[in-house]
Structure 1
Amino acid sequence: MKVRFLGTGTSTGVPQIGCRCEVCNSADPRDRRLRTSVRIEIDDKMLMIDCSPDFRQQMLPFPLEKIDGILLTHEHYDHVGGIDDLRPFSVFGPVDLYMEQRLEKALRERLPYCFAEYKYSGVPNLIVRRISADKDFQIGTVTVTPIRVMHYSLPILGFRIRNFAYLTDIKTMEETELKKLEDVDTLVVSALRKTEHISHQTLDQALKIIDKIKPKTAYLTHMSHEIGTHAKVEEELPSHVFLAYDGLEMSV
C-alpha cells in the first residue's frame, strides 16, 4: 500500500490568509499545508480519504486516472469542498463516494445538481455508496473498517485499511472503537494545535491517543499554523511520531 499526503492543514490552510506569524512566513515547504486529504494506492485500486477544496490543485501533479473510491469522513467543507472538481474523472465512469446517510443528506442539499436523477452535461458523475460505522465494506479486494470518532458532538468516521488507520478531526473516541485499531502498524491522527480546542485534539491529546493505540509509526495531520513550525515541533515528538507534510509519501 502506498499512501501520499495531499494536504495536512486545517480548514484555513497554512499560510492562513492575512497572517504574518512565524509559521505562515516560513520558507520551509513543509509548513505550507493544503486542506487535509490522502491518496492511497492498493491492490490496483486508487482510493482517497476526503475531497478537500484544494482537490484540483492536489491532483494536478498526477496523471488523470480512475478513482476507485473516495471515503468521506464528514460533511464539513474542508473535507468535501472538492466534490464538484471530480468532473474530469467521470471520463472513467461514475466515481463512488462512500459515506454515511447523514452525510449523504447534507451533500444532496448542498450540491443538488451533482446528485440529481437527470443531470445536465458537465457535472460530475457520482454514485453514493452508503456505509455505517458498525460494518466493514469492500472496494474490490480491499476491506475497509469504519471507526466512529467524535468531532465534539458530531459523530464522524475514521478508516482502517489493513495495517493503516486514518483519524482526522477527532476529539474523542470510545474504548470499543479503539479495539478496532489493535495491531495497526501506521496511524494517522489529527492534532490541530497545542492549546485546547472544543472540537479538535491538541498535540498532547493526539500523543495520548497514539500511546493508547500503540502503532509502530504515527503521523500527525490536520494542523493549523498555531501548532508551530514543522522543524521545531518534530524535535519535541517521540521517536516513532512524525509531522506529516504535503507530498509526503510512504509505503505501508
Structure 2
Amino acid sequence: MRKDNFIIFLGTGTSTGVPVLSCNCEICRSKHEKDKRLRTSAFVQINNTRIIIDIGPDFRQQLLRSEIDDFDAILITHGHRDHIAGLDEVRAFNYIRNKRIDIYTRKDVADAIRTEFPYIFDPKGYKGPPQINLHIINQDPFTIGNIEITPVEVMHGKMPISGFKMGNLCYVTDANLIPEESMNLMRDCGTLVLNALRTRPHPTHFSLEEAIEVAKKLNPSQCYFTHISHFMGFHDEINAGLPNKMQLAHDMLCIEI
C-alpha cells in the first residue's frame, strides 16, 4: 500500500535505457527485472499533490505499468530528449481529464520544447496537439497545489539544469557538479535522489564513486541513485557493496518520503 507521501521511480535508466539496443553484454542479457531500466522519470506525491518529474520516450509505458491515471503538474529538469520526448502523451490527459497540463521548467528548456514540438504552439497547424501551460521558473521557490518547490541548480557538463527540493525530498539527475550554494540547500534532507551513471568517470554525469561522495557530504536519511547505465553492473551486486543508507533505485520502486 502506498503511503501519503511517496516517490515512485518510473524509470532509472540513462538515455539509452537498459538493455541497450544491439548490446549483448551480460547486463543487457540479464533476466533480472531490477537490471531492466526505462529512461529516468519519477512520480512524487506530497500532501495529496501529484508531480511528474521528466517525461522521456518511455512516458506512456511508465504510466500504464504504474497505474498512474492523473497528476497535477510536470517538472522538467532539462531539455535533452530522454527527459522531454514523451510530451505528446499528455494529450490523453487533455481528452480524458479535460484539462491543460501545467509544465514547470527553465526558460532554456521551454525554448527547447518550442523548437522540438512546434506544432503544439501553432494555432493554425495540427489539430489536437497537447494542451499545455508552460511556466518559466528561476531559482525562487514556487508552489504547486500543496507543495512548495525550490529549484536547485546543478551542472550537466557546461549546462546548468534543475534539481528540485520539495518537502523532505531532494531530486537531482544528470549532474556532474553541484555548486556549494545548491549543496547547502540540500544538506540533511530526508530522501536524496541522485544520479550515478556507471563505475567509471564520465565528463557530464556523476560516476558511482562521485555520487557516493556527494551523498556523504549531503548526509540524507536515505539516498537512492538513478540515471544508471548498463556499465554500472548488476543491480544486486552493486547494491550489496554500497555504504549504509545508500541504494541503487530500480524501476517501479516506491518509497515513503
Please tell me the TM-score bracket, short chain as reference. Answer: over 0.9
Contact 1:36 1:50 in 2 (8 A): yes
1:76 aligns to what?
Answer: 80
Matches of 2:66 and 2:21, distance apart in 1: 27
2:173 aligns to what?
Answer: 168
Matches of 1:130 and 1:8, distance apart in 2: 26
Q: Secondary structure at the match of 2:25?
A: coil
| Equivalent residue for 1:116, pick from 109, 122, 137 | 122
Contact 2:46 2:146 in 1 (8 A): no
> Which residues of 2 match residues 94-113 of structure 1 at below 5 A?
94-113=100-119
| Equivalent residue for 1:204, pick from 209, 212, 216 | 209
- Deviation of the 1:173 alpha carbon: 1.3
Structure 1 residue ranges without an equivalent (≥5): none
Contact 2:150 2:165 in 1 (8 A): yes
- Deviation of the 1:114 alpha carbon: 1.6
Give aligned pairs, total.
251
Q: Structure 1 stretch 175-184 or stretch 141-150: which is displaced more?
A: 175-184
Q: Secondary structure at the match of 1:61?
A: helix
After superposition, what is the alpha-carbon deviation per residue over 1:63-106, rounded to whole angstroms, capped at 9, x for unaligned? Answer: 56332110000000000010011110113210001011111111
1:188 and 2:193 matched: yes
1:129 and 2:163 matched: no
1:243 aligns to what?
Answer: 248
Matches of 1:171 and 1:118, distance apart in 2: 42
Q: Which amino acid aligns with 2:118?
A: P
Q: Which amino acid aligns with 2:23?
A: C
| Equivalent residue for 1:54, pick from 54, 58, 65 | 58
Contact 1:163 1:183 in 2 (8 A): no
Q: Secondary structure at the match of 2:65?
A: coil
1:230 aligns to what?
Answer: 235
Give aligned-pair identity as a percent.
39
- Deviation of the 1:19 alpha carbon: 0.9
Contact 2:196 2:227 in 1 (8 A): yes
Matches of 2:49 and 2:130, distance apart in 1: 20
Give TM-score scaled by structure 2 length.
0.94
CA RMSD of aligned residues (A): 1.2
| Equivalent residue for 2:18, pick from 8, 14, 19 | 14
Q: Secondary structure at the match of 1:46?
A: strand
After superposition, what is the alpha-carbon deviation per residue over 1:197-234, rounded to whole angstroms, capped at 9, x for unaligned? Answer: 11011000000100110001000000000000001101
- Deviation of the 1:113 alpha carbon: 1.0
Structure 2 residue ranges without an equivalent (≥5): none
1:216 aligns to what?
Answer: 221
Q: Structure 1 stretch 56-65 or stretch 29-38: which is displaced more?
A: 56-65
After superposition, what is the alpha-carbon deviation per residue over 1:106-136, rounded to whole angstroms, capped at 9, x for unaligned? Answer: 110110112334564321110001101x200
Contact 2:101 2:131 in 1 (8 A): yes
Matches of 1:197 and 1:18, distance apart in 2: 22
Contact 2:48 2:146 in 1 (8 A): no
Matches of 2:57 and 2:151, distance apart in 1: 23
Contact 1:55 1:82 in 2 (8 A): yes
Contact 1:67 1:89 in 2 (8 A): no
After superposition, what is the alpha-carbon deviation per residue over 1:10-63, rounded to whole angstroms, capped at 9, x for unaligned? Answer: 000000011111111111100000000001122222211000100011011355
- Deviation of the 1:169 alpha carbon: 0.1
| Equivalent residue for 1:31, pick from 26, 35, 46 | 35
Matches of 2:174 and 2:121, distance apart in 1: 26
